[in-house]
């Protein structure tokens, strides 16, 4: 099963849509909320090469991108 990490923030419609898409595939994910956590936000920016918008999605350690990127490419079926 794929390990999915999604960086989110409060009141982000795209973050909610990304979580719903992942859940619709009956997959679980680790959510890292950057809203009030500067260290987690810094971690996200470092992992994405400077992207500060949410959501930012990683599957098996690979940066997929945001909700639009995920919905276009789909969720890889890797083990």
* Structural domain contains residue 79: no
Q: Give the per-residue pLDDT at 2.
A: 76
Domain with 30 in it: what CATH number? 3.40.30.10
* Predicted confidence band of residue 3 (pLDDT cuts 50, 70, 90): very high
What's the total number of domains in the chain?
A: 1
* Structural domain contains residue 78: no
**Hey, what are 42's tokens?**
């810094």
Encode pLDDT of 45-70 as tens digits.
999 999 999 999 999 999 999 999 99
* Structural domain contains residue 66: yes
- Per the CB < 8 A criterion, the answer to whether 79 and 38 are in contact is no
* Structural domain contains residue 48: yes
**pLDDT at residue 76 is higher than 70:** no
The CA distance from 35 to 8, in Å, is: 8
Q: Give the per-residue pLDDT at 1.
A: 63
Encode pLDDT of 8-37 as tens digits.
999 999 999 999 999 999 999 999 999 999
Q: Which domain holds residue 52?
A: 4-73
* Structural domain contains residue 62: yes
């Amino acid at each position: 099963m794929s390990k999915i990490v999604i960086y989110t923030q409060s009141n982000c419609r795209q973050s909610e849509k990304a979580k719903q898409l992942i859940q619709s595939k009956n997959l679980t994910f680790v959510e890292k909320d950057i809203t009030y956590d500067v260290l987690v936000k810094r971690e996200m920016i470092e992992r994405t090469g400077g992207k500060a918008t949410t959501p930012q999605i990683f599957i098996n350690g690979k940066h997929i991108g945001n909700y639009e990127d995920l919905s276009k490419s789909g969720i890889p079926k890797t083990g």
